[in-house]
Amino acid sequence: MEDVISAYDFSRDQYLEIFSLADEILKGRKIKMKEKIIAEAFFEPSTRTALSFSAAAQRLGMNVIGFSSQEGTSVVKGENLADTIRMMENYSDCIVIRHKFDGAAKFAAEVSSKPVINAGDGKHEHPTQTLVDLYTIFKTFNTIDGLNFGLIGDLRYARTVNSLLRGLTRFKPKSVYLISPPPLKARKEILRELNYEYVELNSPYDVLHDLDVVYVTRIQKERFPDEVEYEKVKESYTIDEKIVNSMRKGSIILHPLPRVNEIDRKIDVSPHAKYFYQASLAVPIRQALFVKILGE
């Protein structure tokens, strides 16, 4: 495996191999890659993703260099992305990049001869979040095939949604419901390529009892022309007790986090709430990914 730019960059077998390696790591298998250096190029701030990549690298005994915001780097002096990447590839074995521009990771991968991992490029993709998402589902149901998925919220600007939809093409979901207010429907460019059934809906209520996985993303206020519109839609996409009570037994709620108020905090104790468990898998799955890319 070379670069990880898109959720398409993994075959079904590669997803499953990474899951089983993560399982071994969780069971205590120690893998050390002491000589290696990971460069983190976080041009856009991140807490969770940057920390989990750093923790994963350090658990493998690797060194981490890089920056977690543009401030204080030569980027603010006007250095272009290509030059920053050329510098970082000289200093490391693998570059993890987050950038505000769509396609920045692919561009970086073309510049760099060292592997590049996309940790989020604009509103485009976030394939390692998909690894976390699918791994959580796989550990819960022991399969990804045959399940019903409901993706709720902002399906247009959420990069985790694009990557998840693409990652699911490697499996055989039974049906995928795309539940969003009309202006935030999933991008047609992404939908066009999917090899499984999907249904677009405005409201979750008709399908809730059928869903195995409810994947929630935040609706951002900035996406709406005015506050009134936003307040109107906000309600119907908030996961509260009313929604959870209509969910089927054994079904789960996932969220890439950070959440603001799209999931009522009362839900956190529900057996359906798996988003903190999901977050806990972020480190082992990224350890497994590093091992796959860099070799033991």
Partner 1 sequence: MENGLIVTKIKDGTVIDHIPAGRALAVLKILGIKGNEGNRVALVMNVDSHRIGKKDIVKIEERVINNVESELITLIAPNATINIIRNYEVAEKRKLRIPDIVVGILKCQNPLCITNNDPEGISKFSSVSKVPIVLKCDYCDTELTEDDVLRQILS
Catalytic center residues = 48-49, 77, 98, 126
Ligand-binding site membership of 278 (annotated): no
Cα 230 to Cα 224: distance, rounded to the nearest angstrom:
6
Taking the C-alpha atoms of residue 101 and residue 191, their distance in angstroms, rounded to an integer, is 21
Contact between 106 and partner 1 per CB under 8 A: yes
29 scored as a contact of partner 1 (CB under 8 A):
no
The least distance separating partner 1 from the CB of residue 122, rounded to whole angstroms, comes to: 5
Residue by residue, DSSP assigns 11-56 as -HHHHHHHHHHHHHHHTT-----TT-EEEEEESS--SHHHHHHHHH
Q: In the complex, what is the shortest distance from the CB of residue 187 to partner 1, in angstroms, rounded to a whole number?
A: 7
Which residues, in sequence order, are bridge partners of residue 37? Answer: 63
Q: Site for partner 1 (CB under 8 A): which residue of 172, 187, 234, 259?
A: 187
Residue 49 in marked binding region = yes
**77 is a contact residue toward partner 1 (CB under 8 A):** no
Amino acid (1-letter code) at residue 234: K
* Spatial CB neighbours of 108, under 8 Å, sequence gap ≥ 6: 41, 81, 82, 85, 95, 97, 99, 116
Does the annotation list 272 as a binding residue? no
Stretch that binds partner 1, among 32-40, 118-126, 206-214, 221-229 (CB under 8 A): 118-126
Q: Does 170 bind partner 1 (CB under 8 A)?
A: no
- DSSP assignment, residue 124? T
143 is in an annotated binding site: no
Q: Which is nearer to partner 1, 100 or 174 (CB)?
A: 100
Q: If binding is defined by CB under 8 A, does position 76 make contact with partner 1? A: no
The encoded tokens of residue 217 equal 């993303």
Residue 17 touches partner 1, criterion: CB under 8 A? no
Binding flag, residue 8, partner 1 (CB under 8 A)? no
Q: How many of the other CB atoms lie within 10 Å of CB of 242?
A: 11
Strand partners, 198: 176
Does 126 carry a binding-site annotation?
A: yes
Q: Confirm or reject binding of residue 223 to partner 1 (CB under 8 A).
A: no
Contact 219, 161 (CB under 8 A): no
190 interacts with partner 1 by CB under 8 A: yes
Annotated binding site for carbamoyl phosphate, which residues? 48-49, 98, 126, 129, 257-258
**Residues interacting with partner 1, by CB under 8 A?**
80-82, 99-104, 106-107, 111, 121-124, 162, 187-190, 192
